[in-house]
């Protein structure tokens, strides 16, 4: 089994969807990634920062999942990153209401000594210079570096983003962001352009329409499971990335064939995430529930056809 390093935000979120509203609850990209990857019992560590206001109860939740938190800096007199968003009726789009960077504004990530040789690195959505700093601290070349990002960094740190993208193996972004990054409408052409920027693999997330995995001229598509309950899409992308990276860390196999399975695991875990607010659904997910849903996935996508 490989070691997995995760860098990203650990946060308070306040979320509004057509189904309700939360006060400040546990959030952050690294939180979702870590919880999702913990399904695979991998040796993982989160590198992040919080304020002294971050409850011990939330840290314990992550610790109890076997995640190493020695890379989380706690600034006693500081405040934790806070993000608030409101979803539109279609649940596919949202407005960011508040982003208070707080301690995240001066985040200088320190990868714990014993994780600097990790084989898998998951760079969650953060400033590209922070992502690059984590890569610079690795003492051995990781087997796989996965990067997640968003349009915000394309708007305000495009050059830094291009520089870190050169150094990663896989990028996971949503369709709109892939179009923004490349100026191409066709996702096939966009993926090819992103390949040319560095990453050998490109995952384009399409929300309720699934995810595409590109590698050279190969494409794999996994639909999203049609769900009865969609409550809150927050963190679905991060949960996908955590499932993807966790599965690769567990299997140690970075072939395209195995990445297809990683996409399926990522999609499966993300399908749970959206069923409740915040991390509620994925924090107590049993292996049995995941297995059942994988079977549903298999049934949804498998067919035999006789060519006539």
Calculate the CA 57 to chain-centre distance.
Answer: 23
Closest Cα to residue 211, out of 219, 227, 222, 201?
A: 222
For ligand AMP, the closer CB: 9 or 39: 9
* Residues of span 90-109 touching ligand AMP by CB under 6 A: 99
Angstrom distance (rounded) from CA 176 to CA 224: 17
One residue of 69, 126, 144, 194 binding ligand AMP per CB under 6 A: 126
**Considering only residues 39, 102, 125, 133, which one is a binding residue for ligand AMP as defined by CB under 6 A?**
125
**If we measure between CA atoms, which residue out of 238, 212, 268, 250 comes closest to residue 120?**
250
Is the Cβ of residue 13 or residue 119 nearer to ligand AMP in the bound state?
A: 13
Angle in degrees, CA 74, 101, 15, rounded to 5:
100
Nearer to ligand AMP, 54 or 215 (CB): 54
Is 238 among the catalytic positions? yes
68, 65, 63: which is closest to 3 by C-alpha?
68
Can you tell me the distance from the alpha carbon of 39 to that of 242, in angstroms, rounded to the nearest whole number? 9
Task: Give the total residue count for the chain.
Answer: 308
Query: Binding to ligand AMP by residue 129, rule CB under 6 A?
Result: no
Binding to ligand AMP by residue 29, rule CB under 6 A? Answer: yes
Chain centre distance of CA 270: 10
Of 232, 238, 253, 284, the catalytic one is: 238
Q: Which is nearer to ligand AMP, 13 or 68 (CB)?
A: 13
Q: How far is the CB of 59 from ligand AMP (least distance, A)?
A: 16
Local structure of 242: helix, strand or coil: helix
Binding test (CB under 6 A) with ligand AMP, winner from 6, 11, 37, 46: 11
Show contacts with ligand AMP in window 199-258 (CB under 6 A).
Answer: 234-238
**Segment holding 81, helix H or strand E:** none
Calpha distance 117→121 (Å, rounded): 10
State yes or no: residue 33 binds ligand AMP (CB under 6 A).
Answer: no
Site for ligand AMP, residues 270 to 299, rule: CB under 6 A: none
Q: Is residue 72 near ligand AMP by the rule CB under 6 A?
A: no
Give the residue closest to ligand AMP by C-beta.
Answer: 27
Q: Is 28 in the site for ligand AMP (CB under 6 A)?
A: yes
Per-residue burial over 253-264, b = 16 or more CB atoms within 10 Å of its CB, e = otherwise: ebeeeebebbbb
- The stretch among 23-31, 39-47, 214-222, 244-252 that binds ligand AMP (CB under 6 A) is 23-31
Contact assessment for residue 262 and residue 7, using Cβ atoms and an 8 Å cutoff: no
- DSSP assignment letter at 169: S
Closest to ligand AMP by CB, 109 vs 215, is 109
* Interaction site with ligand AMP (CB under 6 A): 9, 11, 13, 27-29, 83, 99, 125-126, 152, 234-238
* Enzyme catalytic residues: 238
């Amino acid at each position: 089994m490989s070691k997995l390093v995760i860098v990203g935000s650990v946060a308070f979120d306040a979320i509004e969807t057509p189904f309700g509203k939360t006060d400040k609850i546990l959030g952050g990209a690294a939180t979702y990634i870590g919880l999702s990857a913990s399904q695979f019992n991998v040796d993982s560590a989160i590198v992040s920062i919080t304020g002294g206001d971050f409850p011990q109860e939330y840290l314990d939740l992550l610790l109890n999942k076997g995640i190493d938190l020695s890379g989380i800096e706690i600034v006693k007199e500081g405040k934790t990153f806070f993000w608030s968003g409101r979803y539109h009726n279609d649940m596919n789009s949202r407005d960011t209401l508040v982003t208070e960077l707080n301690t995240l504004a001066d985040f200088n990530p320190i990868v714990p000594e014993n994780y600097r040789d990790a084989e898998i690195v998951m760079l969650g959505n953060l400033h590209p210079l922070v992502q690059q700093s984590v890569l610079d601290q690795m003492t051995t070349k990781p087997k796989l570096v996965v990067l997640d990002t968003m349009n915000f960094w394309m708007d305000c740190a495009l050059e830094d983003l291009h520089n870190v993208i050169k150094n990663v193996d896989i990028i996971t972004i949503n369709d709109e962001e892939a179009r923004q990054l490349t100026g191409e409408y066709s996702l096939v052409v966009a993926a090819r352009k992103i390949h040319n920027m560095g990453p050998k693999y490109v995952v384009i997330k399409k929300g309720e329409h699934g995810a595409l995995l590109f590698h050279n001229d190969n494409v794999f598509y996994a639909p999203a499971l049609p769900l009865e309950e969609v409550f809150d899409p927050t963190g679905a992308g991060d949960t996908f990335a955590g499932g993807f990276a966790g599965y690769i860390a567990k299997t140690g196999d970075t072939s395209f064939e195995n990445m297809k399975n990683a996409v399926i695991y990522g999609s499966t875990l993300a399908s749970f995430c959206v069923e409740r607010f915040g991390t509620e659904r994925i924090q107590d997910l049993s292996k049995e529930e995941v297995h059942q849903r994988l079977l549903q996935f298999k049934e949804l996508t498998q067919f035999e056809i006789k060519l006539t």
